[in-house]
Amino acid sequence: MSVAVITGSAGLIGSEAVRYFAAKGMHVVGIDNDMRKYFFGPEASTEWMRKHLEATIPQYQHFSIDIRDHGAILELFKRFTKEISLVVHTAAQPSHDWAAREPLTDFSVNATGTLNMLEATRQFCPEAPFIFTSTNKVYGDSPNALPLVEQQSRWELDKSHKFAEHGITEAQSIDHSLHSVFGASKVAADVMVQEYGQYFGLKTACFRAGCLTGPNHSGAQLHGFLAYLMKCNVTGTRYNVFGYKGKQVRDNLHSADLVRAFDRFFQSPRSGVVYNIGGSRFSNCSMLEAISMCQQISGREMNWQYGGENRKGDHIWWISDIRKFQSHYPGYALQFDSLAILREIHDRNHERWKDSSRVVHA
């Protein structure tokens, strides 16, 4: 029996990975204690997805374990030991706004939780590739020093800059910048994942992602940009735009495109590698452009307001250069652009959102 251990298994990326690797015939051990509900409230709970996975995937086995519980994680890995052939670590506290409220919680989940997973892998299944969902926030606000040009609906990088054609590479410095508390905890985890690859020889990879999204996202105000935006459009909830005139640019990566990248690494792993991964020039938009796309897809106007002040340490412009990953894994290409992602989010969720909105207002 080949076992894949997936943390955050009821979340956006975790649930996508569960379905993907189960379809490949693996027994999937999911770790998820629904801390997203604690972070962002009942509307962000992943319980609905956990129930769906348990009901539809026979080879899925769920464990409601906190990744900060070192003993419980070790016991779980000991139970499956050498049968574990893959570890996909997606569990995290994902919001830099929320992290400032409880820095100790944020760091213990993101940094200590990751260390627990690494050490369990080293002790019980050292040959299993270890995939870590990192973030472009490890670069802090250093990308804001790039030469940006204001356009009608977005900020854009000056065409003369080396990153203009393909986006930001892994050569971008993570030092001497404002990271946010969240960014700092993810830096700690990211570096430790690299270290377990370089020092201990584990097959580890950090995927430094831009905006991860898709129809399974339990979007909330503080996390889940496209999913929450579309949900607000469908339900008529007012959406607050924070700073940069609504022209801040994000690249958007569908969860299915990311998990396909995970599988490529799984098939041919390396040790201690770092990849920028995101929508690249293929899939990106500004906040204003995303609002326009939501309105186009749903046929209704967005109820939104401009908050003025930008989030501290937030990126003005981020587009990932994914060519390093593509050079290591030739033939990998993205399948979903931002418009296709938003359309799928709408089509898969609008009836559920409308029903929940009716219950709330009943």
Question: Which H or E element spans position 63?
Answer: strand 60-63
Give 163-175 pLDDT, tens digit per residue.
999 999 999 999 9
Q: Rounded CA gap, 9 and 120, in Å?
A: 18
Residue among 244, 265, 48, 264 at smallest CA distance from 153? 244
With 60 as the cut, is the pLDDT of residue 222 above it? no
Q: Is the dihedral of CA 202, 5, 187, 211 positive or negative?
A: positive
Neighbouring-strand partners of residue 60 = 28
Is residue 227 within 8 Å of 350, Cβ to Cβ?
no
Residue 284 pLDDT exceeds 60: yes
Helical spans, DSSP H, in the chain: 12-23, 35-40, 47-56, 70-80, 96-99, 103-107, 113-124, 180-198, 225-235, 255-267, 287-298, 323-328, 338-361
Structure tokens at 16: 């996508």
Rounded CA-CA distance 322/320 in Å is 6
d(Cα 292, Cα 339) in Å, to the nearest integer?
Answer: 10
State whether CATH 3.40.50.720 applies to domain 3-357: yes
Query: In this predicted model, what pLDDT tens digit does every residue of 241-279 receive, in sequence order?
Result: 989 999 999 999 999 999 999 999 999 999 999 999 999
Chain mean pLDDT for the chain: 94
Query: What distance separates the 2 farthest-apart alpha carbons in the chain?
Result: 58
Distance CA 259, CA 29 (A): 16
Residues whose CB is less than 8 angstroms from the CB of residue 361 and which lie 6 or more positions away in sequence, other chains included: none
| pLDDT tens-digit readout, 12-59 | 999 999 999 999 999 999 999 999 999 988 988 999 999 999 999 999
The pLDDT value recorded for residue 223 is: 62
Reply yes or no on whether the pLDDT at 359 is more than 60.
Answer: no
**pLDDT per residue as tens digits for the range 97-119:** 899 999 999 999 999 999 999 99
Residue spans of the domains in the chain: they are 3-357
| Among the listed residues 254, 7, 291, 286, the one whose alpha carbon sits nearest the alpha carbon of residue 132 | 7
pLDDT tens profile 125-143: 999 999 999 999 999 999 9
Nearest to 210 by CA among 155, 278, 256: 278
Distance (Å) of CA 37 to CA 41, 42, 219, 227, 239: 5, 5, 11, 16, 20
Please compute the mean of the pLDDT values over residues 331-346 and round it to a whole number.
Answer: 97
